Structure 1
Amino acid sequence: MRNALVAALMLSSGAALADEGQWQPYQMPAIADKLKQRGIDIPAQQLADLSQYPMNAVVGLGYCTASFVSPKGLVVTNHHCAYRAIQYNTKPEHNYLELGFLASTLDKEPSAGPNERLYVTEAVTDVTAKVTANLPTEPLARYEAIEANKKALIKECEADDNYRCSVRSFHNGLEYYLIKQLIIRDVRLVYAPPESVGGYGGDIDNFEFPRHSGDFTFLRAYVGKDGKPAPYSEDNVPYVPKSYLKVNADGVKAGDGVFVAGYPGSTSRYRLTSELEFASDWLYPVLADRYQRQIDTIEAMGADNEDISIKYAGTLAGNANRMKKLNGLLDGFRATDIAGIKQSREDAFVDWLKQSPAMNPKLVQELESLIAENQEAIQTSFYFKNAQSSTLLNAANRLYRLAKEKQKPDAQRESGYQERDMKLFEASLKRINRSFEQSVDKTLWLQDIQAYQGQSHKVAVLDELLTYDNHASLQDKIAGMYSLTGLTDADTRLQWMDKSPEDFENSADPFIRLAVALYDENMALEKAEKELAGRLSMARPDYMAAVIDYYKANDWPVYPDANGTLRITYGMVDGYQSRDALYKQPFTRLEGITAKHTGVEPFNAPQKVLDAIAKGDMGEHKVESVYADGRGLICRLFSCLDKPEEFNSVPVNFLSSVDTTGGNSGSPVFNGKGELVGLNFDSTYEAITKDWFFNPTITRAVHVDIRYVLWMMDKVDNAQNLIEELDVVRD
């Protein structure tokens, strides 16, 4: 049975009709026929052009995706993506996380925080030749040469300081692209529903379906009066984007083609089977154990302390999401033999290599050797790095490193410590107090130290620093460090940015002293990592070049693993067979909110939402049916119940077969004409393993339906001022 499943999934993974692929925009013309098959009528060439609608309306937040939806710089994204902005403005006297927020006029829109940014990608340029030309073969020198070439390209690109540039590796170093992004530095909070709407169902419903989450928030981009990006100022004016998305109030039906544009974070689909097994057998369980420990601690300490609860709300939500994803990955690996699938494909690839005279038959074997070294290094350093997890020690480590790096010419400094990085460096030091409480930080750090002490990979210099005499406990020693440090004060932290290495080395501050003591060991560890990265920078590109040739020979999709850069993925609105005799419909309804409501978090819908549903106050947002003539691929392969002919409600969330991952949160979901019909915010539990392997029969993304967003704005929160800004269209 298992062999049959492996064979079936191998076949489906390469099927031409599978909606697999996180495509670079320039690749759109090459898959124009596939877009047409899915009913996506907007020209592929238009999607490839970042200066045209709709791609020039898609923006990044640095960790999520968003999009412009008005000529006044109004931006829509997920509630969980704007969490920091809401948390920044939340105080015990006005808890916007709990109550929600709506600015009735522009002058009432508060700053989303000094570190919030919007990034508008304006150009993506292939710079492979400039990065990889004449590289040395010695590993460390090779790594440093690649970094130097990237820095030179970035410096030239950032001649105008309104832009942020980066050079990203694609196909594991086979290709490099220069990404040029306009930075908008003044971002403000406009409208956010309560968390009991934006995160309805909480961790229980996370990665699950059916869902009823109103995971949306509106922000606004501001610039100086000259139209150029500027830091926050009361004199700033709303940014006028080059274009903004049309909002289709009629939404989509089952079977409709859709596409998503955004910034997916990371996937590992081209990694070797041994790398998957390392993740499933060691890395994921270890990470899950740490996240759960932190969740339990923060929940316990925040239960009776609202200040802790507010400060660590983002940390708690992030850890809960990571925890659910890790468990989903581990469950997925147990449910489906993905390692077996990958190994079968890997074996077939090795056989193909042996039959290709121009190829190196030992390519995989040579890469495996380096990967084994890398995995051992990860295990050796994991607990040591975590044992430095104190927020204050992390700040001290970075500040001392900055003092050391400032002794070098700017071009030779490590990335993150160059002059271009100083504004963000300073901002990161300032924001510490927004999510820092000494008792919590102390407890979490002590837990990481104890985890380090309980395992075999030890570092002598840290062991020596952690020793204490018979009259004091480790807890007492750590408590003493927090009581004696000055780094809890933001101004003091900022002053250390201008200190010399000698100032650090003569300091009595316990966290500064610890950072100085650990510096040589940290640098030695970093050097070893760079040397190994230099060796991998030769092996991985050779491997990927051969893999691409192999994929093309089999007519399989060839796209790079996600790496945080702008991508497009396409699919269709469709449910799925989650397990035997259970088919999940692609849409959920308002009434599902009431059905789940218990009055207890996380199923504690606001009374105003319940009242609007009870009154049947749906207006023009109500739809009769969300089903077209067919019910998608799954119902053509499996026996499904007769489709319901009537819907008679407002759709809340819906499923599609688009290929997304972390970072795609907040991504606009487009209909075939390129109009906004939803926001991506999650994946189904069965689909979590798509980071390693795409299975088209169960891979589904979860979206907020734009009709629910409009209903909330219109019938619940009276956000008419914002609705009037939108370009709302109908079919």
Structure 2
Amino acid sequence: MRNALISAVLLSSGVVLASSAAFADEGQWQPYQIPSIADKLSERGIKIPAKQLADLTQYPMNAVVGLGYCTASFVSPQGLVVTNHHCAYRAIQYNSKKEHNYIADGFLANSKNQEPSAGPNERLYITEAVTDVSKTITASLSQDPLIRYEEIQSNRKSLIKECESDDNYRCSVRSFHSGLEYYLIKQLIIRDVRLVYAPPMSVGAFGGDVDNYEYPRHSGDFTFLRAYVGKDGQPAAYSKDNVPFTPKSYLKINADGVKAGDGVFVAGYPGSTSRYRLTSELQFASDWLYPTLASRYQLRIDTIEAMGDADGEVEIKYAGTLASMANRMKKYNGLLDGFKATDITGIKQTREDDFLTWLAADNTYQTYQTQFDQLETLLDKKRINMQTRHYFENAQSSDLLSAANKLYRLAKEKTKPDSEREEGYQERDTKMFKARLKRIDSSFDITVDKTLWQQDLQAYMAQEHRVAALDAMLSGNDNLASLSDKLEGLYALTTLTDQDKRLAWMNASTTAFETSSDPFIRLAVALYDTNMAQEKEKKTLLGELSQARPGYMKAIIAYNKANDWPVYPDANGTLRITYGMVDGYQSRDALYKQPFTRLEGITAKHTGIEPFNAPKKVLDAIKEQRYGSHKVASVIEDPSSWICKLFSCLDKPEEFNSVPVNFLSSVDTTGGNSGSPVFNGNGELVGLNFDSTYEAITKDWFFNPTITRAVHVDIRYILWMMDEVDHADNLIEELDLVRN
């Protein structure tokens, strides 16, 4: 541990080490791969056996669950689940009204009968099995790109149907290494999820967008949910008669947390990374894609904020949407800043040039040069298609038009055998399809929807890639006033704002759609052929890429192995494990960011004005130094060590004397890892992952070990909030707390 701390301090203080690459904690590893890196885990002080981590039926992996967009974990035998506040935001929003605004005030159920439904769409997914099905998916595929794509989908759907013989399971087949491998993933679905405890927004998102991706942070980004099932123990839809779910295991919580230099690991469902993408793809993202997306998000954010300021109901309805868009917009801007600051494009190009030199010299892989060239040609085609479709796709952004498009597509798909239907429109998707249609009401306002749609339509009208069917609807609308009037008429005449009538369309025939007078239904019918033609074009290109990318990935994997670099798949929303250690970093010249923040930092940042408006009960507890048993004297292992004397322990963290709020580690995470449990070396919960530092955003494309840091909520802050501030004694009693 001493060597790990020395390495951490030297690396983060800018001291050059010849062997610095040996300390890189890169890798979002599939669980089955963990035994292959057992030595690296051991070097980080992680004592739990690698073989145990690879087993999804054993502790702690069987306590880690997905939310479909974030990660969570079981922390009690009564189905209690902890995740991030921003991951549970939809549940908090769903239960917030003007008379009891849980977003602003927080929520605590003092007993189970006070726990409300988190909403009809909320699910917990427990991964029970991951099976390699690569040969089944890729056997005897056609050389015709479109047929090849359809064959892959057909093979996927057959495996999924067989896997889902029990309605309580949701299965999927995911591509790894760009189609080189495929895995079948089987997940138990919990359909009754309830809200248990959420701090107010001024704790859960203290610092708001200003602090997003920044450090030091002082965010209490946590919320507790609970999983419920039927009395027979089987998953069931919400019912007041349901009972708490009994998980196969639940996490032990180490109330003493971690210190600087401690080894940690994270398990979760990272969404997407692009580390194996080509330099040309990065250049396109940097030059066009990210700036274009960020610009649109900013316009929509400004619009929603202005309309929310004028109407409290709108503010509540669009709170989750706004937070999500603000996060994405800042991430895009961070990526663009990061590309400039560290020349990620140049780094990628240098490595790619080296790869091509290696490719030309290796007899085994020389033939892959042709596939590489073909891949570049296809990617150029993909870029053109994306730019051509972008504004037309956005021009269908109205929630009501989106619903109409999906409903008409459903009617069309229902004329086919279930096995031939597009994913999302099969019998297995009916419950979620219906739930999404219901969900519209909780985050929809006609005036907001119309305003945002009008902005996208204006952007569409200002560019050259036009679609005749859409232009017919816009005919004569060459100015703002006439377009606004046209849209006003569409919203006035539609019945899709009525939930019952919206749901009734799920059972309508194609003829009913094609003879309807509802303006949104009519527009969906008019746009259908164009949407299908574009989808066919996209599928054909994916079929071509499914031939070119796997060969490229075979060569890339061989190249990485030749250089003794880690080989793991890009993130794709599946369960992964990453490891590292608690460590600060050198942000820029003369600015070192320490690994822990303190309660007193909340007081220092507090202005009384959002987003730095800490609740009075939190400020009072800090002022009165009501730390309880959660106070930490020091956040380093050995204050008397020579390394601390040499570097003054980075402003004397041995005199911490407070409750840690957030901390940094070198684990390799990305979006989707939000809410992921952070474990100490014994596999005990010590925090929740919730963010990355601004300098680390570019890790989605390139992992830089000296600046890549993840930001976590310290478990001691969560316990302090539960104990000293909100007095959630009923929940604390459920937890299995251990100490060092």
Query: Normalising by the residue count of structure 1, what TM-score does the alignment of the two structures yield?
Result: 0.97
Q: Partner amino acid for 2:165?
A: A
How far does residue 364 in structure 1 lie from its aligned partner after superposition? 2.1
Does 2:425 match 1:417? yes
In the alignment, the residues of structure 2 paired with residue 465 and residue 52 of structure 1 have an alpha-carbon distance, to the nearest angstrom, of 57
Does 2:475 match 1:452? no
1:697 partner SS: coil
In the alignment, the residues of structure 2 paired with residue 698 and residue 244 of structure 1 have an alpha-carbon distance, to the nearest angstrom, of 33
- Per-residue Cα deviation, 1:204-251 (whole angstroms, up to 9, x for no partner): 000000000000000000000000000000110000000000000000
In the alignment, the residues of structure 2 paired with residue 247 and residue 439 of structure 1 have an alpha-carbon distance, to the nearest angstrom, of 47
Q: Partner amino acid for 2:545?
A: L
Name the residue aligned to 1:628: 637
Name the residue aligned to 2:273: 267
Does 2:406 match 1:394? no
In the alignment, the residues of structure 1 paired with residue 351 and residue 644 of structure 2 have an alpha-carbon distance, to the nearest angstrom, of 28
Question: Closer, same or farther in 2 for the Cα pair 1:640/1:581, shift >3 Å?
Answer: farther
Name the residue aligned to 1:714: 723
**1:253-292 to 2 correspondences below 5 Å:** 253-292=259-298
How far does residue 455 in structure 1 lie from its aligned partner after superposition? 1.6
Question: Closer, same or farther in 2 for the Cα pair 1:635/1:528, shift >3 Å?
Answer: farther
RMSD, aligned CA:
1.9
1:141 partner SS: helix
Does 2:189 match 1:183? yes
Query: Normalising by the residue count of structure 2, what TM-score does the alignment of the two structures yield?
Result: 0.96
How far does residue 621 in structure 1 lie from its aligned partner after superposition? 0.4
Question: Does the aligned pair in 2 maintain the 1:13–1:696 contact within 8 Å?
Answer: no
Does 2:514 match 1:505? yes
Name the residue aligned to 1:373: 381
2:40 partner SS: helix
How far does residue 600 in structure 1 lie from its aligned partner after superposition? 0.2
Q: Identify which of 584, 589, 592 aligns with 1:580.
A: 589
In the alignment, the residues of structure 2 paired with residue 640 and residue 325 of structure 1 have an alpha-carbon distance, to the nearest angstrom, of 32
Question: Does the aligned pair in 1 maintain the 2:594–2:650 contact within 8 Å?
Answer: no
Question: Does the aligned pair in 2 maintain the 1:13–1:694 contact within 8 Å?
Answer: no
Does 2:735 match 1:729? no
Does 2:143 match 1:137? yes
In the alignment, the residues of structure 1 paired with residue 464 and residue 308 of structure 2 have an alpha-carbon distance, to the nearest angstrom, of 33
Q: Partner amino acid for 1:288?
A: A
1:362 partner SS: helix
How far does residue 356 in structure 1 lie from its aligned partner after superposition? 1.5
- Bigger mean CA deviation after superposition, 15-24 or 313-322: 15-24
Q: Identify which of 540, 546, 549 aligns with 1:537.
A: 546
Percent identity over paired residues:
75
Question: Closer, same or farther in 2 for the Cα pair 1:73/1:60, shift >3 Å?
Answer: same
Question: Does the aligned pair in 1 maintain the 2:220–2:717 contact within 8 Å?
Answer: yes
In the alignment, the residues of structure 1 paired with residue 20 and residue 704 of structure 2 have an alpha-carbon distance, to the nearest angstrom, of 10
Question: Does the aligned pair in 1 maintain the 2:202–2:615 contact within 8 Å?
Answer: yes
**1:686-725 to 2 correspondences below 5 Å:** 686-725=695-734
Name the residue aligned to 1:161: 167
How far does residue 74 in structure 1 lie from its aligned partner after superposition? 0.2
Does 2:417 match 1:435? no
2:267 partner SS: strand
Q: Identify which of 354, 362, 366 aligns with 1:356.
A: 362
**1:665-680 to 2 correspondences below 5 Å:** 665-680=674-689
In the alignment, the residues of structure 1 paired with residue 473 and residue 491 of structure 2 have an alpha-carbon distance, to the nearest angstrom, of 16
In the alignment, the residues of structure 2 paired with residue 338 and residue 628 of structure 1 have an alpha-carbon distance, to the nearest angstrom, of 36
In the alignment, the residues of structure 1 paired with residue 728 and residue 338 of structure 2 have an alpha-carbon distance, to the nearest angstrom, of 41
How far does residue 12 in structure 1 lie from its aligned partner after superposition? 9.7
Question: Does the aligned pair in 1 maintain the 2:477–2:483 contact within 8 Å?
Answer: no
Question: Closer, same or farther in 2 for the Cα pair 1:642/1:315, shift >3 Å?
Answer: closer
Question: Closer, same or farther in 2 for the Cα pair 1:350/1:692, shift >3 Å?
Answer: same
1:645 partner SS: helix
In the alignment, the residues of structure 2 paired with residue 270 and residue 125 of structure 1 have an alpha-carbon distance, to the nearest angstrom, of 23
Does 2:299 match 1:293? yes
Question: Does the aligned pair in 2 maintain the 1:12–1:18 contact within 8 Å?
Answer: no
How far does residue 15 in structure 1 lie from its aligned partner after superposition? 2.8
Q: Partner amino acid for 1:592?
A: G
Name the residue aligned to 1:597: 606
How far does residue 461 in structure 1 lie from its aligned partner after superposition? 2.4
Q: Partner amino acid for 1:477?
A: K
1:444 partner SS: helix
Does 2:388 match 1:407? no
Q: Identify which of 297, 304, 309 aligns with 1:303.
A: 309
Name the residue aligned to 1:478: 487
**1:201-350 to 2 correspondences below 5 Å:** 201-350=207-356
Question: Does the aligned pair in 1 maintain the 2:60–2:250 contact within 8 Å?
Answer: yes
How far does residue 454 in structure 1 lie from its aligned partner after superposition? 1.2
In the alignment, the residues of structure 1 paired with residue 464 and residue 142 of structure 2 have an alpha-carbon distance, to the nearest angstrom, of 37
- Per-residue Cα deviation, 1:45-72 (whole angstroms, up to 9, x for no partner): 0000000000000000000000000000
- Per-residue Cα deviation, 1:550-590 (whole angstroms, up to 9, x for no partner): 10111000000000000000000000000000000000000
Q: Identify which of 639, 660, 668 aligns with 1:651.
A: 660
In the alignment, the residues of structure 1 paired with residue 639 and residue 155 of structure 2 have an alpha-carbon distance, to the nearest angstrom, of 53
In the alignment, the residues of structure 2 paired with residue 635 and residue 290 of structure 1 have an alpha-carbon distance, to the nearest angstrom, of 48
How far does residue 462 in structure 1 lie from its aligned partner after superposition? 1.7
Does 2:41 match 1:32? no
How far does residue 203 in structure 1 lie from its aligned partner after superposition? 0.3
Name the residue aligned to 2:11: none
Name the residue aligned to 2:498: 489
1:15 partner SS: helix
In the alignment, the residues of structure 2 paired with residue 230 and residue 13 of structure 1 have an alpha-carbon distance, to the nearest angstrom, of 54
2:159 partner SS: helix
Name the residue aligned to 2:391: 383
Question: Does the aligned pair in 2 maintain the 1:328–1:688 contact within 8 Å?
Answer: yes
Q: Partner amino acid for 1:225?
A: K
In the alignment, the residues of structure 1 paired with residue 477 and residue 738 of structure 2 have an alpha-carbon distance, to the nearest angstrom, of 73
In the alignment, the residues of structure 2 paired with residue 386 and residue 13 of structure 1 have an alpha-carbon distance, to the nearest angstrom, of 49
How many residues align? The count is: 723
Question: Closer, same or farther in 2 for the Cα pair 1:85/1:631, shift >3 Å?
Answer: farther
In the alignment, the residues of structure 1 paired with residue 150 and residue 42 of structure 2 have an alpha-carbon distance, to the nearest angstrom, of 45
2:147 partner SS: helix
In the alignment, the residues of structure 1 paired with residue 674 and residue 80 of structure 2 have an alpha-carbon distance, to the nearest angstrom, of 18
Does 2:158 match 1:152? yes
Question: Does the aligned pair in 2 maintain the 1:29–1:48 contact within 8 Å?
Answer: yes
How far does residue 635 in structure 1 lie from its aligned partner after superposition? 9.7
In the alignment, the residues of structure 2 paired with residue 539 and residue 673 of structure 1 have an alpha-carbon distance, to the nearest angstrom, of 43
1:122 partner SS: strand
In the alignment, structure 1 segments of 5+ residues that lack a partner are 1-7
- Per-residue Cα deviation, 1:595-654 (whole angstroms, up to 9, x for no partner): 00000000000000000001100011001001124899x999999845432110000000
In the alignment, the residues of structure 2 paired with residue 534 and residue 443 of structure 1 have an alpha-carbon distance, to the nearest angstrom, of 38
Question: Closer, same or farther in 2 for the Cα pair 1:660/1:469, shift >3 Å?
Answer: closer
In the alignment, the residues of structure 2 paired with residue 637 and residue 175 of structure 1 have an alpha-carbon distance, to the nearest angstrom, of 49
Question: Does the aligned pair in 2 maintain the 1:90–1:97 contact within 8 Å?
Answer: yes
In the alignment, structure 2 segments of 5+ residues that lack a partner are 1-13
In the alignment, the residues of structure 1 paired with residue 117 and residue 20 of structure 2 have an alpha-carbon distance, to the nearest angstrom, of 47
